[in-house]
Amino acid sequence: MKKIELLAPAGNMEKLEMVFHYGADAAYIGGKSFNLRALSGNFDDEDLKKAVDYAHVQGKKVYITLNIIPHNSEIDIMADYIKYLSSINVDGVIVADLGVFELVKENSNLNISISTQASNTNWRSVAFWKRLGAKRVVLAREVSLNDIKTIREKVPDVELEMFIHGAMCISISGRCLMSNYMASRDANRGACAHPCRWNYSLMEEKRPGEYFPVFEDDRGTYIFNSKDLCSIEFIDQILDIGIDSLKIEGRMKGIYYGANVVKVYRNAIDSYTNGNYKFDPNWIEELKGTSNRSFTSGFYLGLPNENSQNYNTNSSYSQTHQLVAKVIEKLEDNTYILEVRNRLTTGEELEVITQTYAPYQFIMPEMINNENDELIKIAHPNTIIKIKTDNNLKVYDMIRKKL
Ligand code: SF4
């Protein structure tokens, strides 16, 4: 059976380390420019090289996002950046625009993935990109599994990548001007403010300031507000098609999201490739444990309907658990150094997430502030603490609490 790539987002070096540790085969990252996540931290030129070297030592891959829809001022300065990416041996670039595609061809031998922003929804466009020299096509989110199957059958000699988890756009995969109009932030240049998830009211022109709530039904309004994509319940059907790469969305999300979502899909893919696939209801519970806006199957099992919209009128994200600490070092004598991410107290009932599957219960023992060796009962975010425990913790283990 051919190797299926699990491709994860990484907005910075820490996220990259975490998604690789928890089972991603590859990561997609952005440089400081020309990508669609302007606010996700991103890597400067030196960091990009470090990230690529770090991945290659582990036999993993790094793809660089070059998927803005550029204007003249941007396109004219891209060639040097492309040459730099080529010199540091990135595994590929993700491109949405024909001009950028040609520039990459002229200035490098880099592998090119055609971004989901190019909206590939049919086999003819996938075949066309293949003829032009693309190595991979990232399918639009707006396709059904049946469509993908047809594309796979008709164009067998190009790599196909598809999204399996993460945010959905209410427009066609981010090709949307709402954010430009409402927040002067350009979604097509990586700065979407997500106004599709805001609350909307009705105001009559002659009554300024009088807002009427909008109810589409008794649950409220859900005009633009899509749930997040989740494919875990039908991942076997996706794997049956013979997709090359399965992509998780979320470069702006934290390490707990990236690591845990990767871990769940890694587990599912491995059970499929090992020939013992059986849906595990814990997978869905674990995915609910990280940031989400409720789940939908998107377009994959048929057109979205009213159940694909998030009815939560405050549009907020939910999650059942919160990351409180990460293990960063193991010392002698069962002593560990932890980085605190959210407030935690001695004696608190917590859970440890490890690289292997099941989380286990953990009671926070005595904590020592690593800076001044003082015993503390409460640890605040960004504190580095020392603890002693018989639990065999590992570097990169995450400690979480139930919300
Ligand atoms: S406003 Fe919403 S639909 Fe538009 S690009 Fe942003 S996330 Fe997508």
Residue 226 Cα, ligand 1 centroid: separation in angstroms?
10
Amino acid type, 330: K
In this structure, the residues whose C-beta lies within 6 A of any atom of ligand 1 are 169-171, 174, 176, 178-179, 187, 192, 194-196
List of the chain residues with pLDDT < 50:
none
Is the sign of the CA dihedral 227, 228, 231, 232 positive or negative? negative
**Which atom of ligand 1 approaches the CA of 175 most closely?**
5
Choosing from 119, 175, 176, 181 the residue with most ligand 1 atoms within 8 A of its CB, the one to mutate for a pocket test is 176
pLDDT the model gives residue 234:
97
The pTM score is: 0.93
Could you report the per-residue pLDDT of 149-160, keeping only the tens digit for each?
A: 999 999 999 999
Identify whether the C-beta of residue 379 lies closer than 8 Å to the C-beta of residue 328: no
Residue in 160, 152, 298, 170 with CA at minimum distance from that of residue 229? 298
Q: Which two tokens stand for residue 23?
A: 């089972």
Right CATH number for 5-172+225-308 from 3.20.20.70, 3.40.50.11810, 3.50.50.60, 3.40.50.12500? 3.20.20.70
Residue spans of beta strands (DSSP E) within 11-54: 26-30
Residue 196 Cα, ligand 1 centroid: separation in angstroms?
6
**Which atom of ligand 1 approaches the CA of 195 most closely?**
1
pLDDT the model gives residue 392:
93
pLDDT the model gives residue 202:
84
pLDDT the model gives residue 238:
97
Residue 43 Cα, ligand 1 centroid: separation in angstroms?
24
How far, in Å, CA of 399 to CA of 340, rounded?
9
**Which atom of ligand 1 approaches the CA of 179 most closely?**
1
Name the closest-CA residue to atom 1, ligand 1: 194
Choosing from 171, 253, 293, 317 the residue with most ligand 1 atoms within 8 A of its CB, the one to mutate for a pocket test is 171
Residue 175 Cα, ligand 1 centroid: separation in angstroms?
8
Q: How far is CA 382 from CA 7, 17, 169, 344, in A?
A: 29, 19, 33, 11
Instruction: Please report, for the chain, the start and end positions of each structural domain, with discontinuous segments joined by +.
Output: 5-172+225-308, 321-402
How far, in Å, CA of 91 to CA of 55, rounded?
10
Q: What three-state secondary structure class fits 79?
A: helix
pLDDT the model gives residue 128:
98
Name the closest-CA residue to atom 5, ligand 1: 174
- In CATH terms, are 5-172+225-308 and 321-402 the same topology? no
Identify whether the C-beta of residue 154 lies closer than 8 Å to the C-beta of residue 169: no
**Class assignment of domain 321-402?**
mainly beta
Which residues lie below 8 Å from residue 375, measured CB to CB, with a gap of 6+?
366, 367, 368, 369
Residue 149 Cα, ligand 1 centroid: separation in angstroms?
27
Long-range contacts of 272-279 (CB under 8 A, 24+ apart): 272/235, 272/236, 272/239, 273/1, 273/4, 273/239, 277/236, 279/233, 279/236
State the DSSP H helix or E strand holding residue 127, giving kind and residue range, or none if neither.
helix 123-132
Choosing from 68, 142, 169 the residue with most ligand 1 atoms within 8 A of its CB, the one to mutate for a pocket test is 169
Task: Find tokens 């945010």 and name the residue.
Answer: 167
Could you report the per-residue pLDDT of 232-255, keeping only the tens digit for each?
A: 999 999 999 999 999 999 988 999
pLDDT the model gives residue 272:
96
Residue 297 Cα, ligand 1 centroid: separation in angstroms?
18
State the DSSP H helix or E strand holding residue 74, giving kind and residue range, or none if neither.
helix 72-75
Identify whether the C-beta of residue 153 lies closer than 8 Å to the C-beta of residue 240: no
- Residue 193 exposed, middle or buried by CB count within 10 Å (0-12, 13-18, 19+): middle
Identify whether the C-beta of residue 121 lies closer than 8 Å to the C-beta of residue 91: no
Rg (CA), the chain: 22
pLDDT the model gives residue 60:
98
Task: Find tokens 């989380």 and name the residue.
Answer: 359
Which residues lie below 8 Å from residue 240, measured CB to CB, with a gap of 6+?
none
pLDDT the model gives residue 313:
54
Residue 169 Cα, ligand 1 centroid: separation in angstroms?
5
What secondary structure letter does DSSP report for 35?
S
pLDDT the model gives residue 56:
98
Could you report the per-residue pLDDT of 320-339, keeping only the tens digit for each?
A: 999 999 999 999 999 999 99
Helix ranges, 173-294 (H): 178-183, 235-241, 255-273, 281-288
How far, in Å, CA of 314 to CA of 351, rounded?
29
